[in-house]
Amino acid sequence: MADHVADSAAGNLSAARRATPEDAPIVARLLHDFNTEFDAASPGVGVLAPRLRKLLASPTTFALLVGDRAEGVALVTLRTNVWYPGPVALLDELYVTPDRRGQGLGSAMILLLLDECRSLGVSAIEIGVDAPDVDAQRFYERHGFQGVDPDTGDRAFWYSLEL
């Protein structure tokens, strides 16, 4: 299985690329589709695109696109952290359109994410995953991410508070 995932991802990696600020409408559409597919609120493409154009021009945010017609997106923000010498990347979103799931596009984005983060000197990558989303948990674990503290083995949790 792991070899199949790696082969499939490698085949799609050539179609994966870092988005530019000019790609903001495409990234916005994919993020909006992601939220609406899972019945989550979205301010809409018209609000997201200008925000993304500005963010993608900054050094603290990047997006990855995959597929000939941009059928997947990963959105990443970077921050400093006292515990690491380099920045910490937060994989804010990873989405593949329903008709392209299971074809290695998500894995291709993870491989590109790892390459991009290494080139930027990133020390760690963090991801928040909802408890019921066991498919996402398995996906990330298959790519080496852990849902436990590596020092203690304790289950990791993600808490948030919107202001």
pLDDT one-digit tens code per residue, 116-156: 999 999 999 999 998 899 999 999 999 999 998 888 989 98
In the prediction, which pLDDT does 13 show? 62
In the prediction, which pLDDT does 15 show? 84
Residue boundaries of the structural domains of the chain? 2-142
CATH H superfamily, domain 2-142: Gcn5-related N-acetyltransferase (GNAT) (3.40.630.30)
Tell whether the model's pLDDT for residue 87 goes beyond 90.
Answer: yes
In the prediction, which pLDDT does 149 show? 85
What is the distance between the terminal CA atoms of the chain, rounded to a whole angstrom? 43
Single-letter amino acid code for the residue at 28:
A
- 76 Cβ neighbours under 8 A, 6+ residues apart: 61, 62, 63, 64, 89, 90, 91, 92, 113, 116, 117
pTM higher than the cut 0.85: yes
Percent of the chain with pLDDT over 90: 78
The full length of the chain comes to: 163
In the prediction, which pLDDT does 29 show? 98
In the prediction, which pLDDT does 160 show? 83
In the prediction, which pLDDT does 111 show? 96
SS3 142: helix
Compute the C-alpha angle 112/154/133, nearest 5°: 50
Per-residue pLDDT reduced to its tens digit, 26-56 = 999 999 999 999 999 999 999 999 999 999 9
Beta carbons of 159 and 123 less than 8 angstroms apart:
no
In the prediction, which pLDDT does 128 show? 92
DSSP 23: G
Token digits of residue 115 = 């390459």
Q: How far apart are CA 162 and CA 156, in angstroms?
A: 20
Cα 143 to the center of its chain, rounded Å: 13
